[in-house]
């Protein structure tokens, strides 16, 4: 078996393009994407729906052919020795519906049978916490349990590289945390993980490094901490005025420690490096302008702020309404 | 650690999925049996039809009625002229006899039972009047197994069911897996594509054997259906038919992205064959213009061959060309399936 040194990337791609031609003309789902994923890391592709995350990951998985660009996975290329590559990767697709009238253990044994080497299905059930559901029909599992089964099916071939496409989308908070624990444990065991998500908290908690993707391109890359400190300030001050906002951005831009001002229907957000300096200055400015404050809050900056800062849009369409 | 073989695991998964689905069990095994019972009862051999004859009031009406009543099949009544006309119009009688010179028969020539009644009544009256038939004749009625409608029907139902079972059990099942993205998930594993297709075919073959046993068994037990052919020849023929039809099932499943699409395609293939290929009645009844089309359909030849083997005890070699045509349909279907099949 080909062994690669730790320095050698597990996945590298250069100039990746994927064009779909449909009735409404052609769409560039992936538009010149460069990435390198290192051994043992959990790498996240973060971006809104339609950013090209799934297309990218499916090209890496060998399920889609790129229009152009160079992709190398585990030191191999798709089209050369696909079976060998498939033996070494584990995949959880978005929305696979397993056969409802098979049990958990039957499904895992079926998937295990496809691999030359692999894990004991019983051990995999333990790893994802499905042991007590071994003999349950899949039709009787909850959404979170099904998603953990999907991860288990990805693990049963003992992969050195694991692909998880939106593993927690649509799950309740408790199921999401359970799945996070599973993924974190895998990564601690040395498995390289590539996951896509549009949840910033998921990316922040799980990923060592991530690429923020929008319109088929990488618009920022780094560890969650690096990306957040790239904003210039790691704190956010959000406030709203009693009589609406108006075009007041300039009024606050010059305040000490304020790096950026952003306003939307919900109010005004300031990116600041030192809140203890910025807040008194802000209150002074409001008083001198006779502006009345409706609310004021401060918090740590998040990846969401990184994305909004880069694109002017939120990661999820429902984000604006949910912050109200 | 146990070693699992992908082909046997795929096959087991298919068997489990099938037996755990009560609806499919009903459609594959119970439905054809109910159909056979229903049609068998509807077309069972009934006692000879009675003939309803009215005699119009006349001086000699009573005499005419008396001579007709000597035949047990006739139900004779005497009515006034308007009543006779009414009863004929309403279908209460098949024929009105108006005594006189000449005797007149009043009937609708488009009603088969009226035409028949005219003939029988005429004969009876002529004989009563003293006619001697120059050639003595006698009737003997056939109710022997092997010549009844149910005997024609049972092999046809088996053919119909093998076609439907193969289309649903292979075509529909595969498209459903594609819709559920399970095919794509399988394609993302090192699973050999051929293993998957073999397991679909193997599953179909396994479900076919009980199908043959249940349908033929119902015929034998309930209707005294005669099996004159070699049981292995019947099984071989069923196996060949099911495999060929499974090829058609695979072919319709090649590209369909929705279960609605594949259902439509399956009906497009099944409906003409159910109608034309001699399931419920002989294909020779259709106009000449349809015959070349009927003669290329695989189910036509399957039904002919199955009836020949079961009812006449024909050998498989005597059916060689039919078998070859059925196999060719299967072969062509598999060939195009391998070229066109999409995993996602």
Q: A33-66, pLDDT tens digit by residue? A: 999 999 999 999 998 888 899 999 999 999 999 9
What local confidence, expressed as pLDDT, does residue B202 receive? 94
Helical (H) or strand (E) element with B261? helix B259-276
What local confidence, expressed as pLDDT, does residue B1 receive? 46
Average pLDDT over residues B219-239: 93
Q: How far apart are CA B17 and CA B25, in angstroms?
A: 11
Average pLDDT over residues B194-204: 93
Which tens digit of pLDDT belongs to each residue from A111-122?
Answer: 999 999 999 999
Q: How far is CA A181 from CA A170, A202, A205, in A?
A: 17, 11, 10
What local confidence, expressed as pLDDT, does residue B47 receive? 61
Average predicted confidence (pLDDT) for chain B: 90
Q: Delimit the domains of chain B by residue range.
A: 6-43+145-340, 51-128
Q: How far apart are CA B180 and CA A150, in angstroms?
A: 13
pLDDT > 70 fraction of chain B, expressed in percent and rounded: 97
Nearest CA in chain B to A105: B13
Which residues in chain B are closer than 8 Å to A120, comparing Cβ atoms?
1
pLDDT > 90 fraction of chain B, expressed in percent and rounded: 64
Q: How far apart are CA B158 and CA B127, in angstroms?
A: 49
Domains of chain A (ranges; CATH) run: 11-228 (3.40.50.300), 232-300 (3.30.70.980)
Q: Is the pLDDT of residue B189 over 60?
A: yes
Nearest CA in chain A to B183: A96
Residues of chain A short of pLDDT 50, as ranges, are 1-4, 319-324
Closest-CA residue to A164 (of A177, A174, A175, A150)? A150
Which residues in chain A are closer than 8 Å to B17, comparing Cβ atoms?
99, 101-102
What local confidence, expressed as pLDDT, does residue B42 receive? 80
For A109, the closest of B9, B186, B187 (CB atoms) is: B9
What local confidence, expressed as pLDDT, does residue A229 receive? 85
B16–A97 C-beta distance less than 8 A: no
For B9, the closest of A62, A93, A113 (CB atoms) is: A113
What local confidence, expressed as pLDDT, does residue B201 receive? 92
Q: How far apart are CA A54 and CA B23, in angstroms?
A: 36
Which tens digit of pLDDT belongs to each residue from B46-62?
Answer: 666 788 899 999 888 88
Which tens digit of pLDDT belongs to each residue from A5-21?
Answer: 556 789 999 999 999 88
Q: How confident is the model at residue B4 (pLDDT cuts 50, 70, 90)?
A: confident
Q: At which residue do the structure tokens 């999409």 appear?
A: B342
Which residues in chain B are closer than 8 Å to A114, comparing Cβ atoms?
6, 186, 189-191
Which tens digit of pLDDT belongs to each residue from A198-216?
Answer: 888 899 889 999 999 999 9
Q: Which of the pair, B240 or A294, is modelled with greater confidence?
A: B240
A112–B188 C-beta distance less than 8 A: no
Taking only residues 130 to 159 of chain A, the set having a beta carbon closer than 8 angstroms to any beta carbon of chain B reads: 137, 153, 157
Task: For chains A and B, count residue pairs whose Cβ atoms are closer than 8 Å.
Answer: 71
Query: Burial level of A316, CB count in 10 A (0-12/13-18/19+)?
Result: middle
């Amino acid at each position: 078996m080909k062994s690669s040194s730790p320095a050698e990337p597990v996945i590298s791609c250069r100039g990746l393009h994927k064009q779909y031609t449909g009735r409404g003309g052609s769409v560039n789902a992936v538009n010149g994407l460069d990435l390198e994923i290192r051994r043992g890391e959990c790498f996240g592709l973060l971006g809104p729906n339609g950013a090209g995350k799934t297309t990218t990951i499916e090209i890496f998985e060998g399920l889609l052919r790129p229009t152009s660009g160079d992709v190398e996975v585990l030191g191999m290329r798709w089209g050369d020795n696909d079976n060998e590559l498939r033996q070494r990767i584990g995949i959880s697709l978005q929305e696979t519906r397993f056969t409802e009238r098979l049990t958990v253990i039957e499904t895992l044994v079926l998937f295990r049978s496809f691999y030359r080497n692999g894990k004991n299905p019983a051990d995999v059930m333990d790893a994802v916490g499905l042991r007590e559901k071994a003999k349950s029909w899949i039709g009787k599992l909850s959404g979170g349990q099904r998603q953990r089964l999907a991860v288990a099916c990805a693990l049963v071939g003992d992969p050195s590289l694991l692909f998880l496409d939106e593993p927690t989308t649509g799950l309740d908070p408790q199921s999401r945390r359970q799945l996070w624990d599973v993924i974190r444990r895998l990564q601690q065991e040395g498995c390289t993980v590539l996951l896509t998500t549009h949840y910033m908290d998921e990316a922040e908690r799980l990923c060592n490094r991530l690429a923020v993707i929008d319109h088929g391109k990488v618009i920022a890359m780094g560890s969650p901490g690096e990306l957040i400190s790239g904003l210039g300030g790691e704190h956010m001050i959000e406030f709203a005025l009693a009589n609406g906002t108006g075009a007041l951005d300039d009024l606050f831009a010059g305040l000490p420690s304020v790096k950026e001002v952003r306003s939307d229907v919900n109010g005004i957000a300031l990116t600041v490096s030192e809140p203890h300096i910025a807040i008194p200055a802000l209150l002074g400015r409001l008083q001198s302008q006779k502006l009345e404050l409706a609310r004021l809050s401060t918090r740590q900056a998040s990846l969401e702020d990184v994305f909004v800062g880069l694109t002017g849009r939120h990661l999820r369409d429902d984000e604006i309404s949910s912050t109200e | 650690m146990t070693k699992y073989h992908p082909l046997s695991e795929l096959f087991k998964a298919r068997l489990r999925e099938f037996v755990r689905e009560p609806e499919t069990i009903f459609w594959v095994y119970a439905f054809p049996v109910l159909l056979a019972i229903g049609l068998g009862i509807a077309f069972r051999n009934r006692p000879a039809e009675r003939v309803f004859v009215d005699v119009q009031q006349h001086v000699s009406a009573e005499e005419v009625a008396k001579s007709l009543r000597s035949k047990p099949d006739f139900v004779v009544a005497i009515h006034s002229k308007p009543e006779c006309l009414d009863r004929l119009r309403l279908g209460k009688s098949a024929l009105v006899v108006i005594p006189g010179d000449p005797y007149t028969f009043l009937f609708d020539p488009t009603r088969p039972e009226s035409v028949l009644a005219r003939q029988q009544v005429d004969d009876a009256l002529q004989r009563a009047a003293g006619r001697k038939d120059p050639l003595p004749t006698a009737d003997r009625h056939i109710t022997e197994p092997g010549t009844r409608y149910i005997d024609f029907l049972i092999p046809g139902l088996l053919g119909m069911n093998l076609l439907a079972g193969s289309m649903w059990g292979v075509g529909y099942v595969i498209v459903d897996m594609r819709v559920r993205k399970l095919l794509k998930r399988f394609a993302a594993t090192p699973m050999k594509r051929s293993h998957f297709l073999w397991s679909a075919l193997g599953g179909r073959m396994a479900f076919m054997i009980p199908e043959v046993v249940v349908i033929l068994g119902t015929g034998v037990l309930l209707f005294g259906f005669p099996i004159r052919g070699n049981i292995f020849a019947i099984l071989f023929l069923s196996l060949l038919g099911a495999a060929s039809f499974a090829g058609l099932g695979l072919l319709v499943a090649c590209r369909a992205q929705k279960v609605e699409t594949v259902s439509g395609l399956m009906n497009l293939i099944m409906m003409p064959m159910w109608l034309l290929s001699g399931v419920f009645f002989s294909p020779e009844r259709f106009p000449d213009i349809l015959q070349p089309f009927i003669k290329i359909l695989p189910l036509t030849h399957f039904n002919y061959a199955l009836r020949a083997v079961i009812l006449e005890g024909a050998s498989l070699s005597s059916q060689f060309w039919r078998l070859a045509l059925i196999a060719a349909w299967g072969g062509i279907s598999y060939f195009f399936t391998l070229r066109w099949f999409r995993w996602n």
